[in-house]
Structures are given as structure tokens and as C-alpha cells.
Amino acid sequence: MAEPRIGVVGATGAVGTVTLSLLAERGHRNVRAFASARSAGRTLPFGDGGILVEEATPETLAAGDLDICLFSVGTSGSRELVPHAVRGGAVCVDKSAAYRLEPGIPLVVPEVNGRRVAENTGIVANPNCCTIPLTCTLKPIHEAAGLAAVRVATYQSASGAGAAAMERLRSKTADELDLSMDWDFDGEEFDEESKLRAETRKIMELDDLPVSATCVRVPVLVGHTEAVWVETEEPLTAEEARGVLAEAPGIRLVDFPTPGRAAGEDDVLVGRIRADRAGGRGLSFLVVCDNLRKGAALNALQIADLLPLPRAAAA
């Protein structure tokens, strides 16, 4: 049986390279790699061989020979190029913030709201790399006891800021290491913090859910950590929360989750589940996930798995 023709757009970046390696691991061979003119002509590793990088232009993406495009080119690149790929007949899974909050465009974490993929008219948005693991944990807690409020503090790795940020971190000495906050600041919040709130509300279909986030970047290469405090509508003990999280898809309970343990893993690691000592119907827990895999590339592939096979590919 023919397989879908997949384009990886932004193939040379931190997420693009993981996307290619996941596609190769899963046995996809009908794959093309696209990037900027600067990278066109390079060969990237793909399975046991290599894949030629083509320039991502409106014309090549609109040519009508791709069924699925997996975009990781940043917001302005996606705004420019995604419509051309859609025009050419591809369904685009976009990992930038360009379309996430647009009405009518599904924003999808398969374990949480995978059914929304069917509503796409050419674009499915992939959430922020902190929103994905957070909502994987919030969904089962909401189903068990109703969510009343969510507070989260993130410890995000350099790879969330791209391959160049990873290189900068590698070149630093221990004395130079520090926290950073490298997102757009509106005078009160970073856009990373407001994205986490708005995307969580959209995915969970809880428009008024109180969500408060504080995001920082830590000197870690891969793996975003989130310390989460939730208040529930109904009582839920830590033991009960452990039970519902243990059963939830895509989650693995571990005692002490760390980025080192999560890097290279598909699962979202959850641990330190306990009653919030500040009182009320509160629970605290720690969530860690490989931000390049489940936080980005893997989630996009799982979305692609939910798309109906294109007629040409199914023939």
C-alpha cells in the first residue's frame, strides 16, 4: 500500500531533525525535507541513508505532490508558507504559534482532544511544548474531579529556543550558566506564559479556567520541567490522583522526574504527586517531557496518524 507523501518543512532545525528521525524510525520512506535557501542542497541523515534538503518556496509547497506537511519554521515562516502548502492540497500540522488560537483551526494533543483533528480544513495546530505535557496531566484530573485553577512554574531547556541556543549553551562554562527569560514581554507576562493559559483553555474547552504561569529557561539542553499546582472542584487525594494519572495515555509515573530521564523518551514523566500543603483542594506535582519529541515532533506525528489517508496514498 502506498504511504502518504510527507514534507518536513524546517527540516534542519532542532524540531525538524527530530521529526525526520521519528519518521525514519516509523518506517516512512515517502518523505521530503525542506528548509531555507541557505540550507538547500545539504544532505541530512535519514534512516540508514540521507535526505536532500530542498528550498521551501511557495511554488514547491503548492505543487500538489504532498499529502501532509509537518511545519517547524517559526511563526512568521508558517504564516508565509503554510497557506501555499494548503493550496497545493496538503494537510499541514503547524508547530508554530501562527494558527493555534485561530477560531476554526483545531489545536490538538491527541491524548486530550484528538477527535478535533477531523474538523481541520487544511491546518491542524500543534500546541506549545509546555502546553502539551501540561494538558496530558490536566485532562484526567479534570475528568476525575473538575479543575478549578491551575498554577504552573516552568523550567525550560535551551532546545526550546532552537538549535543555535543549544550551541550557545554547549559553549558556556559553568560560571556563565544562568536562568534566562527570552520570550516577548508585555510589561507583566511573557508571551510564553499567556500562550500556556490560552492554549490550555482552548484544548481543555474550559474558556474561563484560571491559569497562572511563570516561565524561565534553565541551562539544560533537552527536557522541559513544569511544577504544577491544581485546585479541583471535588476532593481528590494524592493517591487518587496517582491512580488516574497512572491510567492516562502518554503518561508514565516516576518518583523523581528530571529532564535527563525524559530526554529521548516519548512519555510525559509525572512524579512528586502530593497534597498541596498550602491547603484547600490542592495538589502539586512535577511534569517533565522531551520538548522536542512529545512537546513538538512526536505530537505532530501523532496528529498526522489521525488524518485520513489521502485518496492517492490509499490507492
Q: Is 129 a catalytic residue?
A: yes
Give the C-alpha separation, 289 to 130, whole Å: 8
Q: Give 96 or 120: the residue with its C-beta nearer to ligand 2RA.
A: 96
Give the C-alpha separation, 86 to 105, whole Å: 13
Planar angle of CA 204, 289, 76, nearest 5 degrees: 70
Binder to ligand 2RA among 130, 132, 222, 300 (CB under 6 A)? 130
Give the C-alpha separation, 196 to 213, whole Å: 7
267, 250 contact by CB (below 8 A): yes
# residues contacting ligand 2RA (CB under 6 A) = 7
Least Å distance, CB 128 to ligand 2RA, is 5
Q: Give 128 or 200: the residue with its C-beta nearer to ligand 2RA.
A: 128
Q: Strand pairing of 282-289 and 224-232?
A: antiparallel
| Beta carbons within 10 angstroms of residue 235's beta carbon | 8
125 interacts with ligand 2RA by CB under 6 A: no
- Cβ neighbours of residue 21 closer than 8 Å, sequence gap 6 or more: 45
Binder to ligand 2RA among 44, 129, 150, 263 (CB under 6 A)? 129
Q: Give 193 or 267: the residue with its C-beta nearer to ligand 2RA.
A: 193
156 interacts with ligand 2RA by CB under 6 A: yes
Least Å distance, CB 154 to ligand 2RA, is 8
State the binding string over 190-229 for ligand 2RA (x if CB under 6 A, else -): --x-------------------------------------
Give the C-alpha separation, 3 to 61, whole Å: 18
Query: Which entry of 129, 136, 215, 289 is annotated as an active-site residue?
Result: 129
Least Å distance, CB 285 to ligand 2RA, is 20
Q: What is the DSSP string of 161-176?
A: G-HHHHHHHHT--GGG
Q: Give 46 or 155: the residue with its C-beta nearer to ligand 2RA.
A: 155
Which stretch in 75-83, 156-164, 248-256, 278-286 sits in contact with ligand 2RA by CB under 6 A? Answer: 156-164
39 interacts with ligand 2RA by CB under 6 A: no
Give the C-alpha separation, 13 to 238, whole Å: 40
Binder to ligand 2RA among 19, 60, 126, 128 (CB under 6 A)? 128
Binder to ligand 2RA among 24, 63, 101, 161 (CB under 6 A)? 161
Q: How many CA atoms lie within 13 A of 304 on its CB side?
A: 28
299 interacts with ligand 2RA by CB under 6 A: no
Q: How many CA atoms lie within 13 A of 189 on its CB side?
A: 13
Which stretch in 43-51, 56-64, 109-117, 127-135 sits in contact with ligand 2RA by CB under 6 A? Answer: 127-135
Give the C-alpha separation, 60 to 238, whole Å: 53
- Give the sign of the dihedral formed by CA 215, CA 218, CA 224, CA 228: negative
Which residues carry out catalysis? 129, 224
Would you tell me which residues interact with ligand 2RA (CB under 6 A)? Answer: 128-130, 156, 160-161, 192
